[in-house]
Amino acid sequence: MQISFYIRLVLVFFLCNSAVVCIAQTDGGFDGSEYADPMVAPMGDGSDIADEKGNKVYVAQEQGRTTLRSKFDSKKPTSSEQWDYARDTQNKGWLKKADRRMVYLFRRWPNSKEAPWAARARADILFERGKWDDAFNAYQYLIDNYSSRMRDYNSALQRQFEISFKIMERRRLRWIFGGYTAPEYAVEYFEAVIRNGPQWIRASEAQFMIGKCNQDAKEYELAITAYGVLGYRYPDSQYAEEAAWQQIVCFRKLRDQFPHAPEMLDRTLTATTVFLSTYPRSEHKDEIIQLRNRLYEVKAGMVFDEAAFYAKVPKEPEAAIIYYKKLIEEYPKSKLVPYAEERIAELEALLAMPVRARTADTPRSKPLPFTKESRNVEG
């Protein structure tokens, strides 16, 4: 009995604090029809629901969240009247008041038919006022909560894209020598645009801008990854070729930072190979071919240096010959091939000589005796 009492107490507490309180007025008690689906039948104006005979079935009252400022503002009893009131305020140019009244509408009646209108109007007001961060969040709220009920989904994505671009170009601390830009802060905004519309007509452009933001911030590895994602997800996009080219540009920047990293050299060569095979008629073709020729000579020079090292090591001419032959086989068009062939001939001639004759005898110094009279040995 005591447990049953506590269960009833919890149920009463839950019903009293729910967002929608449905009070049944039928003679037969609760039959389950008192909970209407707000997505199917939007309500929120507090009107009575009647059956076919005109008898009241239940009364629906929405009790959404309100703001502190809205408590001192005049309110309307229904969502439709509040919408007309807020729109009239917006048309008069009182954007701050209109913003506050739109917020009150979709918080007080979140399931009404005017709620998505108010959420969109509020986002447009913030965009008009230049509140880029707040406007982006307002459009995101609209998409998250009313994506199936809002009008013109693409226009909301377009506004979010424009805000992301403005954040990328925003100059911070203008009063200090004109300020500076921080494009990396716009990356998360462009990523949100892609999540909201992965197949949107400008999704590939948003992905390209992610790479550009990272590239401008000198985060070249992140930029290379972003450009690679564009080529993988949107291979037919008009930005795919430019993204592949910017990948090579980033690799060149990394090559300047790490000139002795063989991994960076191999990655750059791979990127140029993929570019030429994918876009054989690109305007960057000649420049990439020249870059590949330079990298080709760099790799041949690395093998030549290894061979020269072993050639200087005593008793290791065979290893030097192996590396010189490797250079000729792997890089036959290199300018170092004649020098490698000349060195192979010299080393093979050296190997044909007797072992003792390969190195000239060097005079040996007389060892010093470890005695007390060692100071007078040379005298």
Give residue-wise pLDDT tens across range 220-231: 999 999 999 999
Q: How far apart are CA 327 and CA 65, in angstroms?
A: 75
Put residue 171 in one of left, alpha, beta given phi > 0 → left and psi -120 to 50 → alpha. beta
Which range in 16-25, 41-50, 63-72, 300-309 is most confidently predicted, on average pLDDT? 300-309
Q: How far apart are CA 56 and CA 58, in angstroms?
A: 6
Mean pLDDT value across residues 330-354: 86
% pLDDT > 90, the chain: 49
Contacts of residue 94, defined as CB under 8 A and 6 or more positions apart, other chains included, come to none
pLDDT band at 5 (very low <50, low <70, confident <90, very high): low
110-138 per-position pLDDT tens digit: 999 999 999 999 999 999 999 999 999 99
Place of tokens 């003792």: 356
Mean pLDDT value across residues 104-109: 92
Q: Is 50 helix (H, G, I), strand (E, B) or coil?
A: strand
User: Strand pairing partners for 261?
Assistant: none
pLDDT at 285 over 70: yes
251-267 per-position pLDDT tens digit: 999 999 998 888 999 99
What is the residue extent of each domain of the chain? 13-62, 66-150, 299-355
pLDDT band at 15 (very low <50, low <70, confident <90, very high): very low
Q: How far apart are CA 111 and CA 38, in angstroms?
A: 6
Pick from 27-31, 49-53, 352-356: least confident: 27-31
pLDDT score, position 138: 96
> Is the pLDDT higher at 35 or at 283?
283
pLDDT score, position 240: 95
Q: How far apart are CA 257 and CA 46, in angstroms?
A: 68
Nearest C-alpha neighbor of 187 from the set 142, 223, 230, 153: 223
> Is the pLDDT higher at 237 or at 313?
237
Mean pLDDT value across residues 292-297: 90
pLDDT score, position 37: 34
Let me know how long the chain is: 379
63-94 per-position pLDDT tens digit: 555 556 556 677 888 999 999 999 999 999 99
pLDDT score, position 259: 86
- Average pLDDT taken over every residue of the chain: 80
Contacts of residue 99, defined as CB under 8 A and 6 or more positions apart, other chains included, come to 122, 125, 126
Amino acid letter at 125? I
Please tell me whether the overall predicted TM-score, pTM, comes out greater than 0.85 for this model: no
User: Strand pairing partners for 49?
Assistant: 58
Place of tokens 């629906």: 60
pLDDT at 43 over 70: no
Mean pLDDT value across residues 255-283: 91
pLDDT at 44 over 50: no
Q: Would you tell me how many other CB atoms lie within 10 Å of the CB of residue 224?
A: 24
Q: Is 23 helix (H, G, I), strand (E, B) or coil?
A: strand
Place of tokens 């008041």: 97
Place of tokens 């760099």: 298
Tokens (6 digits) for 184: 């990396």
For residue 257, with 0-12 CB atoms within 10 Å meaning exposed, 13-18 middle and 19 or more buried, which class applies?
A: exposed
pLDDT at 359 over 90: no
Q: How far apart are CA 252 and CA 99, in angstroms?
A: 49
pLDDT score, position 366: 57
pLDDT score, position 367: 61
pLDDT score, position 32: 31
Pair type for strands 56-62 and 48-50: antiparallel
pLDDT at 312 over 70: yes
pLDDT score, position 8: 59
Q: How far apart are CA 244 and CA 231, in angstroms?
A: 7
CA distances from 248 to 6, 267, 270, 284, 351 (A): 69, 9, 10, 11, 45
Contact 288, 276 (CB under 8 A): yes
pLDDT band at 42 (very low <50, low <70, confident <90, very high): very low
pLDDT score, position 65: 57
> Is the pLDDT higher at 361 or at 353?
353
CATH superfamily of the domain spanning 66-150: Tetratricopeptide repeat domain (1.25.40.10)
Torsion angle of C-alpha atoms 118, 119, 122, 123, degrees rounded to 10: -150
pLDDT score, position 35: 23
% pLDDT > 70, the chain: 72
Extract the runs of DSSP E, i.e. beta strands, from the chain: 20-24, 48-50, 56-62, 171-172, 180-181
Contact 127, 161 (CB under 8 A): no
pLDDT score, position 127: 95
pLDDT band at 59 (very low <50, low <70, confident <90, very high): very low
